[in-house]
Structure 1
């Protein structure tokens, strides 16, 4: 166990930093950073973000869409998914009693909390679920520096 000198003010500074982080997170509207709702979106597909020791996996529910309907970008450690679900209803030929399905443009963005190997990001579409795998980058390991004694 490493012994650390106790400095009472350090705990206060840590609490202050943590409170600032929580306030920023609350007002960003998204736990992972980024906004939950883009102003240009007509609807908001459900999204899950899962993390393990090697990667993040993002799941996005996109029923009725194909890979041609979706555009994925990764810039500045932020994953953005956008697309459009076209309206299939022919209101002139049918008399609808209820319409609950969502249509139109959407955009979801999520900022990753750690560096990502952007050249190894993988996206797959199956049964209306888009799965994006983002491998974590190898963290830079601290390098020991030898101190030379003179004289």
Structure 2
């Protein structure tokens, strides 16, 4: 019987190759591709003393395809990015664009006045200014300190 020297690095290389093969484009089921994170718009939230400013990245979507609803504690955005079907006789088309319906609910850290929200949609960026409710603006909490003695 021959003695074979065990090389742990070789096993790690084999494992790395197997993991890489799992993520090959042809190996991914279409359901995983359809549920990718690209289907949800990226968000940026900034809170000031007076309001919460929310930006959503929605490139290639017409404003008529967006549904924006605001409650006192959350923002709900849904829409659809429709694919443009172009008939082409020759060639192969490979696209990384994602099409279809999406929805996102963004919870807010404080209550807002949802009747005074302003919105702007320009260059694929939806900007919402969500003014805080009056009782949230001036909210002061008194902390009682006890001396250790």
Report TM bin, short chain.
0.5 to 0.7
Instruction: Determine whether 1:71 maps to 2:67.
Output: yes
State the SS of the aligned residue for 1:132: strand
CA distance in 1, matches of 2:89, 2:39: 25
Q: Pick the aligned partner of 1:100 from 80, 96, 99.
A: 96
**Moved beyond 6 Å, runs of 4+:** none
State the SS of the aligned residue for 1:119: helix
Unpaired runs of at least 5, structure 2: 1-34, 141-149
Larger Rg: 2
Tell me the matched-pair count.
103
* Cα shift at 1:141: 6.2
Instruction: Determine whether 1:57 maps to 2:53.
Output: yes
CA distance in 2, matches of 1:133, 1:86: 27
Q: Which has the higher relative contact order, 1 or 2, with Cα contacts under 8 A spaced 6 or more apart?
A: 1
CA distance in 1, matches of 2:90, 2:113: 50
* Cα shift at 1:95: 3.1
* Cα shift at 1:52: 1.1
Q: 1:46 to 1:91 in 2, by over 3 A?
A: farther
CA distance in 2, matches of 1:107, 1:42: 12
CA distance in 2, matches of 1:73, 1:79: 6
* Cα shift at 1:49: 1.1
**TM-score scaled by structure 2?**
0.61
